[in-house]
Amino acid sequence: MYGVVATINIKPGFKEPFMASMLEDADGSVNNEPGCLRFDVLEDNENPNRIYLMEEYVDEAAFQSHTQQPHFIKWRETCQDWFDGPAEVHRVSGVYPPGK
C-alpha cells in the first residue's frame, strides 16, 4: 500500500468552490482509478478552512497515475490559487492491518 496524507489550508472565502472541486476529484479517483483504494476528504473541527486528505493506492505507480488523470489536473488548476500556503504532504506506507 502506498498512501498520501495531506493538509491543505484554504484562503478565506474560497471554501465552497474548493470543496466542490475537491469532491469532484475524490469522486473521479475512487470511481475511475482501479489503483485508488481510498480517498477521504476530512474537515478540521476547529478550523473549517483546513482540509485533510487521506489517500490510499495499491502502489506508488497508481498514485503517479492519479496525478495524470484529467480530474486531478482540473482540480489542481482550478484550486491552486485558493491554497493559503503550500500543502503539507506526507507519503506513507501501511503497517497495520498486516498485508497492506
Domains contained in the chain, CATH given: 2-93 (3.30.70.100)
What does the pLDDT look like over 3-44, one tens digit per residue? Answer: 999 999 999 999 999 999 999 999 999 999 999 999 999 999
pTM of the model: 0.92
The stretch 60-71 carries a mean pLDDT of: 97
The stretch 49-75 carries a mean pLDDT of: 97
Grid cell, residue 20, equals: 466542490
- Nearest by Cα to 53 from 3, 10, 2: 3
CA 78 from centroid of its chain's CA atoms = 14
Residue 46 contacts residue 38 (beta carbons within 8 Å): no
